Amino acid sequence: MLTSRLVEMKLSMRKSNIKSLAISSLLLLVNIGALAAISEPVSLSLDQAVREALSRNPRLVALGYVRAAMLERPAQAAGLPNPMFTYRGMDATAAGAFPNTGEKRFEIEQPLPGYGKRGLREAVATNEAAVMGTEAEAMAREVVWMVKEAAYELQAVQKALLITRSEDDLLSRMAKVAEVRYAAGEVAQADAVKAQTEITMLKQKRLELEGREKTIRAKLAFLMNIDADQAPATIIAPLPDRPLPDPVALVKSALVKRAEIKGAQLKVDRSELQRKLMTRESPPDYKVGLEYRAIERQDDMVMFMVGVDLPLWRGKTRAAIRESGMMASASEAERTATERQVAFDVQSACYKMATGRRTVELYQKELIPQAVARLQSSEAGYRAGKVDFSDWLESQRFGLTVRIMAVMAEGELGSGWAALERAVGGSL
């Protein structure tokens, strides 16, 4: 009876252990699957990639903290200096009772900046925070441009990889045709060898493109602040098909929207505020105080104090005023230079976009159809014995080059549109 009971207990424990092991294994598989799903690269739209970068880019995050920190400066600049509390004790040198002195003085003093100084200091601090805001905005536009440029380049490289992979079938077919004709004694064996050599060269081209793809994905991972193996596998970035706006209108829009223009104007305003603040430095600052004096065996006393500094050394104030005036002139010149640069950026981007569109149309409407016709003609001529294999191979190379250059031109067109948006200061 006891033996059977022990056997039942062992079986029960074994079933429990097996059940626990099964549950643990299932949970482990679920966790592994979840981790794989998290780390597996995904495909994103262009807008999703931009949002990811704007929310995670470390430089933008750092600038956000700096901007938030600078927004705390106006309150500091507008605040009064801390009051000073002083305790003084005085007693006779002979028969004194230090530290319990016969006379005790309790003083509190409050410095007061001259009229208008606090307001100007607050305005300068507010202006500096606004300048930092424009710098953060400009950096955000820079990140958007870099993400879009990388996305279009990645898309072009991946299309080029598909083209090279599809070219394997053509080269294999060419090699078989050459082998059949060699077996029939119609051509030399060199034709088949040339085809095999071209297949090897195509592999080398594919390796270059794969390395370039990895580099672009690493750049996207850097911009998005993620690990390289978690970078998007693909980014769907449709080519812009909207008409190109008028360059003159775009320049006018850029002079209003560009963060650099706003920042340049804010710097001009700051220089003027600095000049006003320096002129306010000549009037004196003040100090008020209150003293309570406790004297042993006498009545306590209260004393009120008002002080004013004497701005006798005016040389440094005049130098500061001259400095602020020259900085104001420098800010004006910098604003003019920024406006010229913005206009040039917009015009240059417009010219590149127009050229890029004509280039893509040239490939799609003329060069690619011509390459296809040339390849078909060369193949027919080689099969009929009227064209050398080298001519057919050259037609294949020309067709491959044209198709790869076409997708690269599309990528440059997309990058050019992103550069135009960056130059204008916003989406078009």
| Backbone conformation region of residue 336, classed left if phi is above 0, alpha if psi is from -120 to 50, else beta | alpha
Residue with tokens 């990645």: 154
With respect to CATH, is domain 37-91+100-424 assigned 2.60.40.10?
no
pLDDT at 71: 92
Query: Side by side, which strands form the sheet with 301-308?
Result: 84-90, 103-112, 286-295, 301-308
Residue 41 confidence (pLDDT) above 80: no
> What are the boundaries of each domain within the chain?
37-91+100-424
pTM of the model: 0.78
> Which residue type is seen at 352?
K
Structural contact between residues 196 and 168, judged by C-beta atoms closer than 8 angstroms: no
238 — phi, psi (to 5°)?
A: -60, 145
pLDDT at 40: 56
Give the pLDDT mean for 187-196: 80
Residue 238 confidence (pLDDT) above 80: yes
Give the pLDDT mean for 384-400: 89
Which of residues 206 and 32 earns the better pLDDT score?
A: 206
- Which of these ranges, 18-22, 122-126, 262-266, 357-361, has the smallest mean pLDDT? 18-22
Residue 343 confidence (pLDDT) above 60: yes
Residue 317 confidence (pLDDT) above 50: yes
Residue with tokens 């495909």: 43
Q: Where are the alpha helices (DSSP H) in 57-102?
A: 58-70, 73-78
Residues 262, 267, 268: CA angle, nearest 5 degrees: 100
Residues in contact with 365: Cβ distance below 8 Å, sequence separation at least 6, in sequence order:
none
pLDDT digits (tens, 9 = 90+) for 18-35: 444 444 444 444 443 433
pLDDT at 39: 47
Q: Could you give the CA distance from residue 249 to residue 230 in angstroms, rounded to a whole number?
A: 41
> Which residue type is seen at 359?
T
Residue 404 confidence (pLDDT) above 60: yes
